[in-house]
Amino acid sequence: DTAVSQTPKYLVTQMGNDKSIKCEQNLGHDTMYWYKQDSKKFLKIMFSYNNKELIINETVPNRFSPKSPDKAHLNLHINSLELGDSAVYFCASRPSGGETQYFGPGTRLLVL
Amino acid sequence: AQSVTQPDIHITVSEGASLELRCNYSYGATPYLFWYVQSPGQGLQLLLKYFSGDTLVQGIKGFEAEFKRSQSSFNLRKPSVHWSDAAEYFCAEAKTSYDKVIFGPGTSLSVIP
């Protein structure tokens, strides 16, 4: 009965590779988010989708491309991975009309 | 630009002692305010939130927070800390319920047995 799930939990890869992180929520929420948490624990929003439509796009390199096939899923594809992309990536969702975001367990990405 | 500050990077308290974690927000009007907790290796869990009404808000796990407009603060308190409260605590604000949430840098809490 996991609410917001992410796969994989850990991802170790080489510089220059392309990788994807998947997020699914079974809460029936309309809005989903991607956050990046750096090594100093600083948490910053990257993207937000509402009913498969992009509504927030912070200053994130073009190498990052979110995709929402349906409102229960928000995937993050990263091209040409760089060392600085190493971080924990959190997915979150929020119900329509609600203000609370529900977070997934995070995906720990390490770029070597 | 919106910002949230948490002046204490790290706090250590003894088990059973009281706790106060400080948070200051920047949004001029009444923002939506949140406290989240992140246990090691885990995602974030909402402790409590405020957007209107009584300025003293009760949350889960025995936490409470007080909104003080005059000080632009939303400090988190707990009267008696348990060892399981050791975690990272994040204060956050949003202008509206659907706006992006801005997180503070976090305060790491250690609890001494």
pLDDT digits (tens, 9 = 90+) for A60-101: 899 999 999 998 999 999 999 999 999 999 999 999 888 889
pLDDT band with cut points at 50, 70 and 90 for residue A110: very high
- pLDDT category of residue B40 using cuts at 50, 70 and 90: confident
Distance of alpha carbon A52 from alpha carbon A56, whole angstroms? 12
Interface test with B, best of A99, A100, A102, A108 (most B CBs within 10 A): A99
Q: How far apart are CA B79 and CA A25, in angstroms?
A: 35
Which of A47, A102, A33, A71 shows the shortest CA–CA distance to B34?
A102
A2 phi/psi in degrees, rounded to 5: -60, 135
pLDDT for residue A2 is more than 70: no
The shortest CB-CB distance from A99 to any of B36, B49, B102 is to: B49
pLDDT above 80 for B97: no
How far apart (Å, rounded) are the C-alpha atoms in residues A9 and A22? 10
The per-residue pLDDT for A20 is: 97
Which of A94, A98, A105 is closest, CB to CB, to B42? A105
Report the Cα B44 to chain-centroid distance in Å.
12
What is the side-by-side strand order in the sheet with A19-25?
Answer: A4-7, A19-25, A73-78, A64-70
Distance from C-alpha of B5 to C-alpha of B102, rounded to nearest angstrom: 10
- Distance set, CA A79 to CA A9, A19, A32, A66 (Å): 19, 7, 21, 11
| Among A8-12, B25-29, B45-49, the least confident range | B25-29
pLDDT score recorded for residue A96? 85
Radius of gyration for the alpha carbons in chain A, expressed in angstroms and rounded: 13
